[in-house]
Amino acid sequence: MIFNPIIPSPKSAPVAGRTLYVGACPLPPVKISKDHPRYRSLVTRERMAAMVEEGIVAPTGLIAHGRGEAFDYLLGERTVPEAEAAEAAAAALLVLAERPVITVNGNTAALAAKEVGELARVVGAPIEVNLFHRTDQRMERVCAFVEKETGLKVLGRDQDATLAGIASDRARCTSQGLLAADVVLIPLEDGDRAEAMARAGKRVIAIDLNPLSRTALAAEVTVVDELTRAVPNITAWAKRFRGRPEEAQGTLASFDNAEGLRAVRERICRGLEAPLRQ
């Protein structure tokens, strides 16, 4: 018996011991025309949904993606100047770091594994897979997927350490990677872990389209930009700063995260009011 919890029908009511949940909506693939004004967004949604089927993205990762889309919409779906400044500062921190680490979860893997691999190579940072919804099977799947996409060996399968201050499974990390890192890049991270990393003395770089999130507020550098734009931009800045430590230090010294976040929030408010003024 197949039970659909979203659209229950008398025929598919759960029966004790015999009911199997097979997913809410097994729809056929849609065709999206290239001239559709929201082509990119629609294709990305389809990809994310397919990645849920593959076990790479958690089902709730789709909700997180939708939240990100909403903020991106409000920012005009472009890299705003405050994000560009944060991307430069992020690259500077990574280039100046002694032990940088880049963490990857299911959403990041699905959206930008190759781009993260390129950044990891440029700044010499290991990638560590860290999952919010963790099972051994999903960890293996995401690690294998990122390794295939990047050609790099990743950390995460053998989590032998914990981050202080988190009670759940989400405290798990590796002693070689995250625990020993001085600088961590955490794309699309949850607030508890971001705060725990900051408390542990890590210099935290977040990529998060929500300028109000606890992650955005906990980070030393917060990149309020869509992941697939942010990562290549950080890589481009990192290539520039390699071999130019003074320039990287200058960029970092003149960066003000609180001011950047304030300016982004103001930009969102202005954007919301603009159509009303016309």
Q: Tell me the closest approach of the beta carbon of residue 5 to ligand PTJ, in angstroms.
A: 20
Q: Which is nearer to ligand PTJ, 14 or 191 (CB)?
A: 191
Residue numbers at the binding site for ligand PTJ (CB under 6 A) = 58, 60-61, 64-65, 67-68, 71, 105-107, 111, 131-133, 188-190, 207-210, 213, 226-227
Closest CB to ligand PTJ: residue number: 68
Q: Tell me the closest approach of the beta carbon of residue 203 to ligand PTJ, in angstroms.
A: 20
Q: Which is nearer to ligand PTJ, 45 or 242 (CB)?
A: 45
Place of tokens 């629609």: 42
Task: Tell me how far CA of residue 142 lies from CA of 64, 133, 150, 175, in angstroms.
Answer: 18, 12, 12, 19
Q: Tell me the closest approach of the beta carbon of residue 202 to ligand PTJ, in angstroms.
A: 17
CB atoms near residue 78 (< 10 Å): 10
Q: Which is nearer to ligand PTJ, 134 or 202 (CB)?
A: 134
Q: Tell me the closest approach of the beta carbon of residue 41 to ligand PTJ, in angstroms.
A: 11
Q: Which of 202, 200, 198, 207 is nearest to 235 (CA)?
A: 207
Q: Which amino acid is at 42?
A: L
Q: Tell me the closest approach of the beta carbon of residue 66 to ligand PTJ, in angstroms.
A: 8
Largest CA distance in the chain: 69
Q: Which amino acid is at 87?
A: E
Answer yes or no: are the C-beta atoms of 174 and 160 closer than 8 Å: yes
Q: Which is nearer to ligand PTJ, 133 or 239 (CB)?
A: 133
CB atoms near residue 31 (< 10 Å): 5
